[in-house]
């Protein structure tokens, strides 16, 4: 039986690369930890939605952010997504980084996982309209015939009651309650 360590030690080609981008060395990560992989997927997938609605343009914005933040050693500090997106447009430095990242087999797996997560969110989310329809369906499928029969019986009995006697009884009950206080 082969041991994993024996197999990977001879074939472990996952090495980070360093590229000079505008004269500055930038490390492109060729492998990720499980938590980082999941963070990329969740960052891009969740950012693709605004108020529960999918927006394809947000996916690309978040994707650029994820490439810089998670796939390089570039420190972005508290730079927000909008600023990252703005600075990556039409700039050769980002195109060089992206070209290196997208050739990695790992990045193909990341993109696939992002797409699957987006599809899952879309398939499982319940809009307000969906919830309303589900609630109405539940009400309609409930056995309301028995409830309606009870209401009908009470209304028929009320129709036979002497209105003056009914008013007198209500007033009398009200007076009794008032005296007890």
Structure confidence at residue 1 (pLDDT): 81
Judged against a pLDDT cut of 90, whether residue 167 lies above it is answered with no
Q: Is the pLDDT of residue 134 over 70?
A: yes
Measured distance CA(152)–CA(23) in Å, rounded: 86
Query: What pLDDT, on a 0 to 100 scale, did the predictor assign at position 180?
Result: 67
Write the pLDDT tens digit of every residue in 22-37: 899 999 999 999 999 9
For the segment 6-18, what is each residue's pLDDT rounded down to a tens digit? Answer: 766 665 666 899 9
Residue 164 has pLDDT above 80, yes or no: no
| pLDDT at res. 137 | 75
- pLDDT 10s digits, 142-159: 666 666 677 677 667 767
Q: pTM, whole model, 2 decimals?
A: 0.66
Q: In the predicted model, what is the mean pLDDT of the chain?
A: 84
Comparing C-alpha atoms, which of 47, 66, 65, 67 is closest to residue 57?
A: 47
Q: Residue 52's pLDDT is what?
A: 84
Q: What is the mean pLDDT of residues 171-181?
A: 70
Q: Please give the backbone phi and psi of residue 5, each rounded to the nearest 5 degrees, phi first.
A: -60, -35
pLDDT of residue 172: 76
At 58-104, the pLDDT tens digits run: 999 999 999 999 999 999 999 999 999 999 998 789 999 999 999 99
Domain boundaries, the chain: 4-130, 143-180
């Amino acid at each position: 039986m082969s041991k994993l360590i024996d197999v990977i030690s001879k074939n472990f080609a996952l090495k980070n690369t360093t590229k000079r981008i505008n004269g500055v060395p930038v490390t492109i990560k060729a492998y990720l930890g499980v938590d980082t992989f999941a963070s990329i997927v969740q960052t891009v997938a969740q950012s693709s939605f605004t108020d529960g609605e999918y927006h394809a343009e947000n996916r690309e914005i978040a994707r650029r952010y994820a490439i810089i933040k998670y796939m390089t050693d570039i420190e972005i500090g508290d730079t927000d997504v909008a600023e990252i997106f703005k600075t990556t447009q039409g700039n050769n430095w980002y195109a060089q980084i992206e070209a290196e990242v997208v050739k990695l087999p790992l990045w193909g797996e990341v993109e696939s996982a992002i797409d699957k997560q987006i599809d899952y969110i879309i398939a499982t989310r319940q809009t307000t309209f969906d919830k309303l329809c589900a609630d109405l369906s539940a009400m309609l499928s409930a056995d309301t015939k028995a409830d309606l029969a009870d209401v009908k019986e009470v209304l028929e009995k009320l129709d036979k009651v002497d209105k003056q006697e009914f008013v007198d009884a209500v007033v009398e009950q009200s007076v009794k309650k008032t005296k007890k206080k």
